Structure 1
Amino acid sequence: MKLIKFNKLGADIKQQAGKLTDSGFKQVYNHIDQLKIKKGVDSLGLDKFINQCAIMAAGSGAIAGSGGMITLIAGMPVDFINLITQQFRVTMAIMYYNKGSYHIGYEEFMNLVATSLKVEAGVTLTKTMMEGIAEKLLMLLGTRTAERIIPVVGAVIGGTANYLFVKRMADSIKETYGEPMVIQVS
């Protein structure tokens, strides 16, 4: 059995975070159809749209934890990408709801993601900030991995953890953004 070296674990997380920041976030961002998010928020309302995203994240978490170690290893990357995608969709939905415009620039978007994860965000998008986001997401996912090893129970834990993560992130982003301003026209 392979022993975990904790000093090496930190270096591995930094390495994975570096890979994720190089192109991973941008690829996920580019594959999200912002017009569909606008249509979803317009037809469902913001809270129902957020709930829908949380349920989609819960689905991949449940699948990844359903069969124990085997599905965890195979499903973890898919679950992580889906979790990031759903978090990004929720962030875009809240931005659209508050701004009224559904086209959101990558830098503005990532600054809000960083703020919602409580990563130090500057005026410009930096590699350090992106690595901070990636490390925070990897650590959040990694802390829930051990519980998902047990078959069936892991599905419940994985699904619940993903659902709550998306809902909490939505609350954090809403808090960061504040209430939308309504301007009355006479």
Structure 2
Amino acid sequence: MSGEKALADLFEKAFDTLDPQEIKKAVDEHGIDKFISRCAKRSAIIGGICGAGGLTTGLLGLPFDVWNNVIQQFRVTLGVIYHQRGICSVGFHDFMKIVGVSVGVETGASVTSTVMLLIAFQILTRLGVSNVAGAVPITGSVVRGSVNYAFISGIGAAVKAIDMNAF
């Protein structure tokens, strides 16, 4: 299996873990801005935990931290789709087009494995700053948590600015 195919499968697995009814309920109860804030806080907490112990926990926690950021990014994206369209139903390929646009990746008519690789690269680039500071205990926790919070909040703002009628 190629790296691109494995990455596409991981993104699809992350997409499949989303609970549209839970997201719909949370957006209806709290509003989209509070929903985005809660997702950002979840991401910050996990980032803080993963960066708390310095280099060792930073390296061991990195895959979990990245996975959590992808899940929170996908939750925010689906929440905004629901907020703007009133429905929580979207196919994986259309969903990934929106995710791509939210991180600045040009997507064409179809989402190829190369586009998914570019999306992953953008996510890792944006989160990479926190890993440098992760070598220092406590400081790594604060930096990683802050970067995660800013990343998810930024994704929320970017997705809210997308015209969902284009998808």
TM over 0.5: yes
User: 1:104 matched to which residue of 2?
Assistant: 90
Q: 1:145 to 1:120 in 2, by over 3 A?
A: same
User: 1:8 matched to which residue of 2?
Assistant: none
User: 1:26 matched to which residue of 2?
Assistant: 12
**1:69-128 superposed Cα distances (whole Å, 9 cap, x missing partner):** 111011111111001100000000000000101112111110000011111101111111
Structure 2 gap segments, 5+ residues each? none
Residue 19 of structure 1: CA displacement? 6.0
Structure 1 gap segments, 5+ residues each? 1-14, 179-186
Structure 1 length normalisation: TM-score? 0.83
> Where do 1:17-166 residues align within 5 Å?
18=4, 21-166=7-152
Indicate conservation of the 8 Å contact 2:5/2:113, yes or no.
no
DSSP-derived class of the 1:169 partner: helix
RMSD between superposed Cα atoms in Å: 1.7
Tell me which structure has the larger Cα radius of gyration.
Answer: 1
Residue 153 of structure 1: CA displacement? 0.8
What is the identity percentage for the equivalent residue pairs of Structure 1 and Structure 2? 36
Residue 177 of structure 1: CA displacement? 2.9
Amino acid at match of 1:96: Y
User: 1:10 matched to which residue of 2?
Assistant: none
Amino acid at match of 2:115: M
User: 1:173 matched to which residue of 2?
Assistant: 159
Alignment: residue pair count = 164
What CA distance in whole angstroms lies between the structure 2 residues aligned with 1:97 and 1:149? 39
